[in-house]
Amino acid sequence: MLEGKFDEASLLKKVIDAMKDSVKLCNFNCTENGISVQAIDDSRVLLISLLIEAGSFEDYRCDRNIVLGLEMESLNKIIKNGNASDMLTLVAEDSPDALNLIFEDKRRDRIAEYSLKLMDIDQDFLKIEDMKFDAVVNMPSAEFAKICRDMKTLSESLQIIITKDSVKFNSEGDFGSGSVVIKSFTDLEKTEESVRITLEKPINLTFGAKYLNDIIKSTPLASQVTIKLCDKQPALFEYQLPSGYLRFYLAPKFEDEE
Amino acid sequence: MLEGKFDEASLLKKVIDAMKDSVKLCNFNCTENGISVQAIDDSRVLLISLLIEAGSFEDYRCDRNIVLGLEMESLNKIIKNGNASDMLTLVAEDSPDALNLIFEDKRRDRIAEYSLKLMDIDQDFLKIEDMKFDAVVNMPSAEFAKICRDMKTLSESLQIIITKDSVKFNSEGDFGSGSVVIKSFTDLEKTEESVRITLEKPINLTFGAKYLNDIIKSTPLASQVTIKLCDKQPALFEYQLPSGYLRFYLAPKFEDEE
DNA sequence: AGCTATAGCC
DNA sequence: GGCTATAGCT
């Protein structure tokens, strides 16, 4: 049996918001350590890895491993009904045919209870190898989101060039081009505004703007995003949860398709 | 001659907003006591009863009974033009071919005057019997609206089950089901947040979500809604005006059509 | 009242 | 699939 209680429904709300535009159906794997998802987006380009550790919950127990096959759009409908500040409890039997979601108003006697039918989703469990990266950028997630949105107006590709102490986002379009350069920056009072660049080798990679646009749906989850890159390898975009993460792996475009 | 002056145009604005999606054309009956409407919505399911008593006006006079056949969409266009805080005067001759609407800014000399052509609408005056009800629920109108919207994402039917001190709104859909339970609750400081349940017999009725969605357009009119129910009878949903009301009568679905 | 999210339209 | 119009939320 799974029973996980979030102090605030908003955490799961943001997670689903971040994933629902990339993937329609996916398996949520529940174990004693928490809930995890590995999925490939519907266009088969973006790899998504979610981990909500038990520590993200107010209370959490899961006696046996359970796989919950969820339709993201239906789940989203239900989650939107709950108030963001409601307590949210997820409940599933050991061999469930439904996931129960219980929203409780903290102030008074109002309980909303939903049951979502589960799907049998044929989806291999993806093993994601630990990778080594040549460059790591930590920056404000909202700033990264704005850069991606801005550059997308110019071109379908976004080039990321990292040198010793700066990151350049570059976009070459038909009617013009644009670039944004940000430098390492430490704000001791507002650490969430800082930019940190850790570099072993310079990086020059190009990504599909469309997929970055999906990735930045995660912005409300965390004030910072961590971008890890390595030449000719998928880049990792990571948003930290209070206890866990939401990660996206995106392969760069190769020269002949840029 | 009719001459009715609202201190604020917003009252009529909200009334028209609440009705315009249900009924395209309707007769406004003006008498010395005020203005009233009895209409059936375009799908012939929902009965609408409006009463704006003379007391809702700053000044009101109506020497003879006048019927104003109004096209709601045109009226709405005109009313949207006026500022919500403007004073609004309705003027009509004894045998009018138009309704005049005069908006006056309170602070400065700005007068907007509109004339709306009347329609000859063939519509029987409906006599609505006083009914006896087994259960009466008073609750915040915004909360009722949210429940109706939320449940509508799951199913086309909404079941209302009332027991001694709680109301359960229940919805059974294809991909899942949901319910919201609220209990009697008195907030002495914010009385508009209170929930009051008066019960003679338990209630279990099902309504078409589509019509409830029309009814909740009235939410801005009043902080509370009163729902009166009786087995196998149309339910009454009432929003109080400062002096008068907007009421909707909706027949429950019967078992064979649920 | 302004902003954001959604639903219908092109 | 993107955009525009509408409606809900802060």
- Non-local CB neighbours of B122 within 8 Å, separated by 6+ positions: none
Cβ separation B181–A116 shorter than 8 A:
no
Q: Which residues of chain A are under the pLDDT cut of 70? A: 125, 255-258
Beta bridge partners of A91: A3, A100
Residue A206: DSSP 8-state: E
Q: How confident is the model at residue B256 (pLDDT cuts 50, 70, 90)?
A: low
Q: CB-based contact (8 Å) between A109 and chain B?
A: yes
Please report how the helices B10-19 and B72-81 are oriented relative to each other, as an axis angle in degrees rounded to 10: 150
Cβ separation B175–A110 shorter than 8 A:
no
Please give the nucleotide, over all strands, whose C1' is closest to the CA of residue B220: D8
Residue of A115, A119, A120 to mutate when probing chain B, most B C-beta within 10 A? A115
pLDDT on residue B203: 97
Please give the nucleotide, over all strands, whose C1' is closest to the CA of residue A210: D1
In order, the DSSP letters of A60-81 are EEESS-EEEEEEHHHHHHHHHH
pLDDT of B179-191, one tens digit each?
999 999 888 888 8
pLDDT on residue A193: 86
**Cα gap B147→B134, rounded to integer Å:** 22
pLDDT of A216-243, one tens digit each?
999 989 989 999 999 999 999 999 999 9
Q: Which nucleotides along chain C are within 7 A of a protein C-beta?
A: 1, 5-7
Picking from A71, A77, A110, the nearest residue to B180 by CB comes out as: A110
CA B188 to chain centre: 27
* The pLDDT of residue B258 is above 70: no
The string over B188-223, giving b where at least 16 C-beta atoms fall within 10 Å of a residue's C-beta and e elsewhere, is eeeeebebebebeeebebbbbbebbebbbbbbbbbe
Picking from A74, A108, A109, the nearest residue to B176 by CB comes out as: A74
Domains, in order of start, for chain A: 2-117 (3.10.150.10), 135-250 (3.70.10.10)
Cβ separation A108–B185 shorter than 8 A:
yes
Q: How confident is the model at residue B113 (pLDDT cuts 50, 70, 90)?
A: very high
Taking the whole predicted model, whether its pTM rises above 0.85 is answered as yes
Chain A residues in contact with B143 (beta carbon < 8 A)? 110
Q: CB-based contact (8 Å) between B254 and chain A?
A: no
Distances (CA, A) of B52 to B32, B35, B56, B242: 11, 5, 6, 9
pLDDT on residue A181: 95
Q: CB-based contact (8 Å) between A121 and chain B?
A: no
pLDDT on residue A166: 95
Cβ–Cβ < 8 Å for A44, A211: no
- Mean pLDDT value across residues B238-252: 95
Please give the nucleotide, over all strands, whose C1' is closest to the CA of residue B213: D7
Cβ–Cβ < 8 Å for A224, A240: yes
- Mean pLDDT value across residues B109-137: 88
pLDDT on residue A257: 57
Q: Closest chain A residue to B149 measured between Cα atoms?
A: A81
**Cα gap B40→B28, rounded to integer Å:** 13
Q: Which nucleotides along chain D are within 7 A of a protein C-beta?
A: 7-10
**Cα gap A50→A248, rounded to integer Å:** 9
